[in-house]
Structure 1
Amino acid sequence: MRRARLNHYDTDYELGQDNVEVLGLDIHNPVFAISAGLVLLFVISTIAMPELANSWLSAARAWCINHFDWFFMASASGLLIFCVVLIFLPVGQIRLGGAAARPEFSLLSWFAMLFAAGMGIGLLFWGVAEPIAYYTGWAGTPMNAEPFSPQAAQLALPATLYHWGLNAWAIYAVVGLSLAFFCYNKGLPLTIRSAFYPLLGERCWGWPGHIIDILAVLATIFGLATSLGFGANQAASGLHFLFGIDDGLATKIAVICGVTLCAVVSVIRGLDGGVRLLSNLNMLLAALLMVLVFCLGPTWDIVQSLFVTGRDYLTNLIPLSNWVGREDQDWLHDWSVFYWAWWVSWSPFVGMFIARISKGRTIREFMVAVLLVPTLVTLLWMTVFGTSALEQAQAGVGQLAQGIDKMSLATYQMLENLPWAALTSAIATVLVIVFFVTSSDSGSLVIDSITAGGKLDAPVPQRIFWAVMEGLIALALLVGGGKAALGALQSGAIATGLPFTLVLLMMALSLSLGLRSEVKQLSASNKDG
């Protein structure tokens, strides 16, 4: 027993020691109460005063961007460098859970779950809309290229991949590895505060830790709500495109309510019976849709673009990461800064979810897989959909040739100019909804764990509560944003992402201290053995 616990931290904290049972809920005091209270206050005030709420959200977004654009950009690049360095250090040999630990899920199921939870809805929403927006100058162009020019066309896909590739997954990887290491190797609860034990010591179980977990809950729920809002917009547009159903606010509300109900059923079934099955279904449907677009679209051009996009992405990685003296400031703020804030707000959710399913992997295996596999799949997805859309726009075919009139319709406007448009549009709509459910239920499980003090088996009513809260936040942002709902969704993500970016940087420092200590202890143990 002594050898099995040799590297665990010597702490008096016991899982659930601060929990209280209220109405059948096993809640961590005071994280659950404060988090739930702030969420409910936001929902009620936003729905009651939508114009004032939209004004506040817009002001918060402008303040964060104008004062901290450099902070978001530098943090995203710094975390990527940190992750790459870990791959080549001796700590890469450390196995999450100890030398005898083995993975709980197969490699394919592992990839499916981390990818579906990490970027599902977003890829489907932005796979066409983002490269077309960059080509047509819908909200500025990368590197200040002339809209509709060959340069804009050349930069459209690499700039899109820049936002969805290595930087994004480095943000997730830092959180995921920190949580997995401190839980499985150091014997601490699977909650955000545990990652700060090397910096805070026993204080991480007090108010400093409470504040960290509350920030994590708020960042997660607003980041998820942003994605759910995008998904509701696209699902409503799909229903309008397929069946002529009005795609106004009432339909979006109905979609969110329906998906939230499905998410509730999934969280009741748990990780293995709900999330894993839906994630595998996501991958099958996404693969089917991508293969259809690849075969029905400009197949040879897609093949050629795949290699060109990958090359141009790596070539432009440093120029796009630079924020000093950029002429395309509007594009930088509206796109890059928003994306880094969005991914940061998603990081507690995706990171904890990856941690829960990654026991038994080595750190090197974890980092290589989490950084490269999603980036390569994203490259393939964005190239298939983006090239098909850009070919239409450049050839003057369909609505996309005129630019984007409605972001949520972009994918359907591309599909309608390909054969079998009804079939592919139907698959896309179903995929949006299933991705929608997967993000909501896996996010609910993560928030539930944080607000239960790290417990992985909190009561079912507690899971239901957070699934419903996510739906309510998405509804509040859509209602509060009115016609500018897209901006309201982005504002919510940026405002909550700013404070958690600082938390992320501290987490990376704490992880490096923990890994260094682990290497020393393992070396000493091997000598003694």
Structure 2
Amino acid sequence: MLERLQQRLGLQTIPGIFFTSAAVAIVFVALAVPFDEQVAGSFGVLTGWVARNLGWFYILAVSSLLIFLLGLAVSRYGSIRLGGDDSRPDYTNLTWFTMLFAAGIGTILMFWGVAEPVSHFASPPFDGVDSRSEQAATDAMTISLYHFGLHTWTIFAMPGLAIAYFAYRHNLPMRISSLFYPVLGDRAFGPLGWAIDVIAVLGTLFGVATSLGLGTLQLNSGLNYLFGIPTNGFVQVVLITMIASIAAVSVALGLDKGVRRLSQLNIILAMILILFVAVVGPTIFIAEGMVQSVGDYFDALPWLAFWTETFKETDWQRQWTLFYWAWTISWAPYVGIFIARISRGRTIREFVAGVLFAPTAFTLVWFGVFGLSAISVESSGQVALAEQVQEDPSVAIFAFLEAFPLAEVASALSVVIIVIFFTTSSDSASLVIDTLTRREEQPSRVRQRIFWAAAQGVVAATLLLAGGLEALQNVITSLGLPFCLLLLFMAVSLFRALRADYRGYDVTDLVKGRAFPEVEATESEPKQENNDVSKTADRY
């Protein structure tokens, strides 16, 4: 039946994945629109339960994955290439960085770059720290970097590395279910694998919809500041419709013509905004603060990475850390596949170093310029920044820019950057969801990519109308748990495959139990060239 429906609609998909994912999204929207309060309340209850009982699991899982990736990079497996042994990267380092960053957390940094440091500066999360004190400023920067630094990019790097490895080195389909082939065998290409891919599709859809919702709130605030446009649900739905339309055009153009050019343009505009604030703001204070923040971050990282508020029963960690981790984890399948698509030919060591440290360095600069400047503005009393952020965090960057010359010009530039970050996130996600829902030999139909771009907009609008920022946070925190489990299984599966690869075996040997016979050479012996790549893609 699904095959006939697909033919009538002119689609090229795996029907079990495409139609199941679409049906769940449609049912969610159909229930959330008339029963918005009940849906929002249900997710609120579920989020509270997850935070009380499994918050520690999120913290432990993400920190453990960071240690695992760093260990891989410095181990003997670090020299293995994501592709054949003679393959080389498809993109230059600069192009690679701009693409992975724009598809990652560009929208998030625009929203929280000012709001989070000011929030922690005015309301310190740690006992015994006075509001607006020197220690409060230090902690505010350290926590912000913890939330958006190595841990965030660990969540993106784990699936990205695993997908690139299995796709380019073993010719498996670029799909989340392929990562479980060393564990599931051919079952990864049947209904069980489809179920994994449906989870990945829904995580991507709701994760990106959350970002689009936050971006819309911020965009509405910027337009209100510049042109007096009211901030309400109707305007936000119109904005989402407009941005989804732009994303649909970009996604129709494809990866190289659409996403790459928008990503490069946005990095240029973001750098212009950074330079503007750095020059007209407290330049020396920013430079000194950035140097100190690096030391504070790495000094606090070992204990902060495993801090779980055990002896302080508050809701702070649920509202901040758990929300960030769950949100980022829900993005993991999408960003992971996108990063994998642009990372062929790099070694594991190059991949881990690039994906973890290059964006973290940019994050340090971003928070160094915007976060430290915002703390300076709040301390000097130029703008009642903390009060406005507490009332509505979406206005943070626009209220902050009021303290500088050419505020309207800078705010207009911020609006443009938000729109492009918004668009690159949406069109990148649409490309990835399309990849997850079709076979590799099937052509990518424009109508399929446009459908997923539209679906993201509809879900984002529904979440906003169902409760705004709180609804966005509750939904994503609740849905992050199954993806967190998937990340841990990915690490196990990747490590098993790398051990076999190092000894010259293929993943099919691993599945059939031939990779680690007792009579074979020990793992300390060098790997033989592996030309026996898996030919399982046609089984899907």
Q: Which residue of 1 is the match for residue 84 of structure 2?
A: 98
SS in 2 for 1:25: coil
Tell me the CA shift for residue 323 of structure 1: 1.4
Report the residue type matching 1:378 in the other structure. Answer: T
Classify 1:302/1:46 alpha carbon distance in 2 versus 1 (closer, same or farther; 3 Å): same
1:525 and 2:525 are equivalent in the alignment? no
TM-superposition CA deviations, 1:179-227 (whole Å, max 9, x none): 0000000110000000111111111112221111111111111110111
* Structure 1 position 451, deviation (Å): 1.0
Cα distance between partner residues in 2 of 1:19 and 1:103: 40
Given the alignment, which residue of 195, 203, 220 partners 1:236?
220
Given candidates 80, 84, 92, the residue that maps to 2:70 is: 84
Cα distance 1:241–1:106, how it changes in 2: closer, same or farther (>3 A)?
Answer: same
Quick one: distance in 2 between partners of 1:501 and 1:526? Answer: 34
Q: Which amino acid aligns with 1:87?
A: A
Task: Name stretches of at least 5 consecutive residues in structure 2 with no aligned partner.
Answer: 506-525, 532-540
Task: Rate the CA distance shift 1:501–1:143 in 2: closer, same or farther, 3 A.
Answer: farther
- Which residue in 1 is equivalent to 2:320? 335
Shift of 1:401: 5.0
1:65-111: CA deviations, max 9, x gaps?
11110110001100100110011111111111111212111111100
Q: CA deviation at 1:453?
A: 3.6
Deviations 1:324-345 (A, max 9, x none): 6342742222111111111100
For residues 452-506 of structure 1, give each alpha carbon's deviation from its aligned partner in whole angstroms, at most 9, with x where no partner exists. 145684211100110000001100100111xxx1111011211211111001100
Return closer, same or farther for 1:249/1:144 CA change in 2, 3 Å cut-off. farther
Contact in 1 for aligned 2:13/2:442 (Cα 8 Å): no
3-state SS, counterpart of residue 157 of structure 2: helix
Equivalent AA in structure 2 for residue 515 of structure 1: L
1:512 matched residue in structure 2? 495
* AA in 1 matched with 2:165: F
Residue 70 and residue 144 in structure 1: after superposition, are their counterparts in 2 closer, same or farther (change >3 A)? Answer: farther
Where 1:521 maps in the other structure, the secondary structure is: coil
Answer yes or no: is 1:478 the counterpart of 2:481.
no
Separation in 1 of the partners of 2:414 and 2:127? Answer: 32
State the AA in 2 paired with 1:230.
L
What is the distance in 2 between the residues matched to 1:49 and 1:233? 22
Residue among 86, 95, 107 paired with 1:109: 95
- Aligned letter for 1:45? L
2:165 is equivalent to residue 162 of structure 1 = no
Distance in 2 between residues matched to 1:527 and 1:39, nearest whole Å: 42
For residues 342-400 of structure 1, give each alpha carbon's deviation from its aligned partner in whole angstroms, at most 9, with x where no partner exists.
11001001100000000011110000000000000000001100011000111122121
Secondary structure of the residue aligned to 2:216 is helix
Give the AA of the match of 1:491. Answer: N
> Is the Cα–Cα contact under 8 Å of residues 263 and 467 in structure 1 kept in the other structure?
yes
The equivalent residue for 2:376 is: 391
Q: Which of 248, 258, 268 is equivalent to 1:284?
A: 268
Q: Which moved more, 1:351-360 or 1:24-33?
A: 24-33
The Cα of 1:251 is off from its aligned counterpart by 1.4
The separation in 1 between residues aligned to 2:227 and 2:287, in whole angstroms, is 34
Percent of residue pairs identical? 42
Provide the C-alpha distance between the structure 2 equivalents of 1:300 and 1:219, rounded to a whole number of angstroms: 42
Counterpart of 1:228 in structure 2: which amino acid? L
1:66 is matched with: 52
Residue equivalent to 2:336: 351
Kept after mapping to 1: 8 A contact 2:204/2:433 = yes
Letter in 2 for 1:253: V
Distance 1:320 1:21 in 2: 53
Within 2, Cα distance between the matches of 1:527 and 1:246?
61
Equivalent-residue separation in structure 1 for 2:270 and 2:443 (angstroms): 31
In structure 1, the residue matched to 2:393 is: 407
Give 1:423's match in structure 2, choosing from 402, 409, 420. 409
Say whether the 8 Å CA contact 2:72–2:349 is kept in structure 1.
yes
Q: 1:306 to 1:18 in 2, by over 3 A?
A: farther
Q: 1:107 to 1:37 in 2, by over 3 A?
A: same
Aligned residue type for 1:479: L
| Amino acid of the structure 2 residue aligned with 1:362 | T
Match of 2:11 among 6, 10, 25: 25
Q: State the one-letter code of the partner of 2:361.
A: L
Does the Cα contact within 8 Å between 1:223 and 1:345 map onto a contact in 2? yes
- The 1:521–1:388 alpha-carbon spacing in structure 2 relative to 1, beyond 3 Å, is same
**Alignment pair present for 1:314 and 2:317:** no
Provide the C-alpha distance between the structure 1 equivalents of 2:499 and 2:100, rounded to a whole number of angstroms.
Answer: 27
Q: Where in structure 2 are the equivalents of 1:79-228 lying within 5 Å? A: 79-137=65-123, 141-142=125-126, 145-228=129-212
Superposed displacement of residue 51, structure 1: 1.2
Determine if the alignment matches structure 1 residue 366 to structure 2 residue 369.
no
- The code of the aligned residue for 1:506 comes to F
The aligned length equals 507
Distance 1:409 1:211, change over 3 A: same
Matches within 5 A, 1:45-56: 45-56=31-42
Given that 1:134 and 1:142 are in contact with CA atoms closer than 8 Å, whether structure 2 keeps it comes out as no
Instruction: Determine helix, strand or coil for the equivalent of 1:30.
Output: helix
Corresponding residue SS for 1:48: coil
Q: Deviations over 1:1-50 (max 9, x none)?
A: xxxxxxxxxxxxxxxx9996441111113111111000011111111211
Give the alignment's TM-score, normalised by structure 2: 0.91
User: What's the counterpart of residue 14 of structure 1?
Assistant: none
1:3 matched to which residue of 2?
A: none
- Return the TM-score normalized by structure 1: 0.93
1:496 is aligned to 2:516: no
Partner letter of residue 172 of structure 1? F
